[in-house]
Each structure stands twice: as structure tokens, then as C-alpha cells.
Amino acid sequence: QVQLVESGGGLVQAGGSLRLSCAASGRILSIIDMAWYRQAPGKQRELVAGLDSAGSTNYADSVKGRFTISRDNAKNTLYLQMNSLKPEDTAVYYCNGLIRDRSGRALRYWGQGTQVTVSS
């Protein structure tokens, strides 16, 4: 069993910053890739930023230059540093990971989500 738990969401004014964390725990053998998604009310869930096992990153055009994804491999923790936040960044942010467990299975897991609200 593998769990992903996000933290760090909250209410911030436009132009402010937040850092989200996603801690992976359980019977983890290796983490293949991880990403942050978000879902705003009435909209589909969208990819915000991804980080693969080689360290390559990709970002949604709407967050390029403002958000940075990173990972602490020793802690099995994924981060999303969000700067220059805008009201349109308001959403529930979800952590996603393709993780191989100790039985050798590689499955994709989701966290429970953390709310980010940006006021104008």
C-alpha cells in the first residue's frame, strides 16, 4: 500500500507565494515519476507540472516562470513552489505519482488534494 499526502495549501493574496508538499509513504520500492494537477470548480483536472525519474520537468503554459516542481528523493517528497499567484490559480491541487511498490507492481496513485485560494 502506498499513500500520497499533500499539505501546504491555503488562502493567499494575489502576488503571494505558497509551497505545496506531497509526501509518499508505504511499501515503496521506487518512484518513477510525479506530478501536480489541479482542478478548479466546474473545470476538468489539468496537469500543472511534472517531474520524471531523469529529472526532466514540464509545466503548463499558464504557470511557466511562476511555479517550480522539485523532489527530495531521500524524503520521497514532491514540492511545488508557487510564486506570483493569480486568482485563476485557485483550485484543488492534487499530487500524482507512478510508484513501484515492493511487490514490483507499478501503479499510479493520487493524493487527497489540498485547496489553494488566491484572492484578488
Residue pair 55/74 in contact (Cβ under 8 Å)? The answer is no
Mean confidence (pLDDT) of the chain: 97
Q: What is the pLDDT of residue 119?
A: 98
Model confidence at 45, pLDDT cuts 50, 70, 90, reads: very high
For residues 1 and 57, give the distance between their C-alpha atoms in angstroms, rounded to a whole number: 27
Residues 77-84, mean pLDDT to the nearest whole number:
98
Give the contacts of 25 (CB within 8 A, at least 6 positions apart). 2, 3, 5, 76
In the 8-state DSSP scheme, what is residue 88? Answer: G
pLDDT in tens, 48-77: 999 998 999 999 999 999 999 999 999 999
Span 85-99, average pLDDT? 98
Give pLDDT, residue 88.
97
The band of 103, judged by pLDDT with boundaries at 50, 70 and 90, is very high
The predicted pLDDT at position 62 comes to 98
* CA-based radius of gyration for the chain: 14
| Residue 111: per-residue pLDDT | 97
Using CA atoms, how far apart are residues 36 and 85, in angstroms rounded to an integer? 16
Question: Tens digit of pLDDT for each residue in 17-30?
Answer: 999 999 999 999 99
Q: How many CA atoms lie within 13 A of 45 on its CB side?
A: 11
